[in-house]
Amino acid sequence: MLFHVKMTVNLPVDMNPERAAGLKAEEKALAQRLQQEGKWRHLWRIAGLYANYSVFDVDSVQELHDLLMQLPLYPYMTIEVNALCRHPSSIHEDDR
């Protein structure tokens, strides 16, 4: 199941810089592991914003929920989710 996810990060302005750097490093490590595992298919920065557009490939809505909630930056994110399905004009046979 594919889901388009928009994540907007809002770190508190008074957050300790070392704490922020630690969270970002943990987030990066997990994001890269999930990409290697094929769960996090696309990760794009939205130009000009501390936000991203992502595509997740998961087995269930519950898996997506659990995965998003375990992100280190989750407490500081606003998240929007849209379910995706195959477009009849798509030439990508592996879309599902």
Ligand X SMILES: O=C(O)C[C@H]1C=CC(=O)O1
The residues that touch ligand X, with contacts defined as CB under 6 A, are 7, 9, 27-28, 31, 43, 52, 73
Please identify the residue of the shown chain whose CB is closest to the bound ligand X: 52
| Residue 49 vs 86, nearer CB to ligand X | 49
Residue 32's nearest CA partner among 23, 43, 22, 47 is: 43
Least separation in angstroms between CB 27 and ligand X: 4
Task: Give CA–CA dist 48/8, Å, rounded.
Answer: 12
| Residue 46 vs 61, nearer CB to ligand X | 46
Least separation in angstroms between CB 60 and ligand X: 21
Least separation in angstroms between CB 34 and ligand X: 9
- In 40-94, which ranges are E strands? 40-45, 51-57, 77-84
Residue 12 CB-density burial (10 A; 0-12 exposed, 13-18 middle, 19+ buried): exposed
